[in-house]
A = this chain, B = another copy of it.
Amino acid sequence: MSKQILILPGDGIGPEIMAEAVKVLELANDKYQLDFALSYDELGGAAIDKYGVPLADETLERARAADAILLGAVGGPKWDTIDPAIRPERGLLKIRSQLGLFGNLRPALLYPQLADASSLKPEIVAGLDILIVRELTGGIYFGQPRESRVLENGERMAYDTLPYSESEIRRIAKVGFDMARVRGKKLCSVDKANVLASSQLWRAVIEEVAKDYPDVELSHMYVDNAAMQLVRAPKQFDVIVTDNMFGDILSDEASMLTGSIGMLPSASLDSNNKGMFEPCHGSAPDIAGKGIANPLATILSVSMMLRYSFGQSAAADAIEQAVSNVLDQGLRTGDIHSVGMTKVGTREMGDAVVAAL
């Protein structure tokens, strides 16, 4: 039976970049006889417009039934003033949570061809290749209780809860150690164990899991120090494993070290490696519809999908190689353009990757 791929183009530049990624996916499908069947639905603002909610029940069912999901990007000013409970981001949080996509892989990789784009000195970032493993379905993002209320003295107050259970920490720790094992064999666990109770448990469980990975060198770092070290000497890191909120902050910081967030894909996996794959960047409403967005992060998300959900490393490698080739050819979308390079639009970039593949 065919493998079902659900495509969620989303908002802003989502549909444009997804169109290019789908071209690449269809070519890979033919070339490597992957037997993929593609279907489409909406998430985020587009889903609010169509269904009245950012993730419709029928979409969630389709996502459950699919073997993998490819997502563009969600959100935009059109839905900024909407009831917070049904904002576009809520759809994203709900699909992560409902599908149990706890393992978020966010690579921060500097392409040698784009070394100049970084705001850091070349010697600090040359060869940068970090993988952030972020816990994605627990912690303060979903913790209950959370509430906004009025105190007896008439003042408003609001609170959130940051909970972690041993099993939640153990399963993300394993993802971190497994990734480190096939990469540079170094794992840095980031927490705030000098202040938070949840971080103390985090650290203890990471230590326990470490016993099964004697070949991986484990270190612990406080989140404030990690935010500093990423700026000071990012190449000290191989794999970083951390909680949902710290991972949100540090993965964005790390991706910006490369200067080309338009190049970075991500994967969100469940315990069977079923996953949702999406670019790290947002929906960029300011350039939506102009045909100038960079489709490479979405194309590389296809590669991650082939690698992690379907074990098709040959096809995944080929896509990555094709992307590297178009960079070697000097093709650049506006976000990664520099003097002497050829500026191209979204479609030309997608076509170039297809040609290179």
Contact = CB atoms under 8 A, between A and B. Distances in A.
Contacts of A84: 200
Contacts of A200: 84, 148, 158
A155 interface: yes
B201 A156 contact: yes
Chain A contact patch, size range: 35 or more
Interface stretch (A242-250, A292-300, A338-346): A242-250
Contacts of A250: 227
Interface in A122-151: 124, 140-141, 143, 146-148, 151
Number of copies of this protein chain within its complex: 2
Given A140-B196, A256-B231, A166 B156 contact: yes
B148 A162 contact: no
Nearest to A196: B160
Interface string A184-223: 0000000010111110110001000000000000000001
A342 B92 CA distance: 55
A224 interface: yes
A318 to B, nearest CB: 31
Contacts of A195: 89, 93, 140-141
Binding site secondary structure of chain A = helix
Interface in A38-96: 84, 87, 89, 93
Interface string A95-123: 00000000000000000000000011100
Contacts of A163: 157-159
Contact of A119 (B233, B252, B256): B233
Interface of A: 84, 87, 89, 93, 119-121, 124, 140-141, 143, 146-148, 151, 155-167, 192, 194-198, 200-201, 205, 223-225, 227-233, 245-246, 248-253, 255-257, 259, 261
Given A146-B196, A158-B198, 13 more contacts: A89-B194, A121-B121, A148-B200, A148-B201, A156-B165, A156-B201, A158-B164, A224-B249, A227-B250, A231-B231, A231-B256, A231-B257, A249-B249
The 6 residue pairs across chains A and B that have the minimum distance between CB atoms:
A159-B163, A158-B201, A227-B253, A157-B165, A224-B252, A228-B256
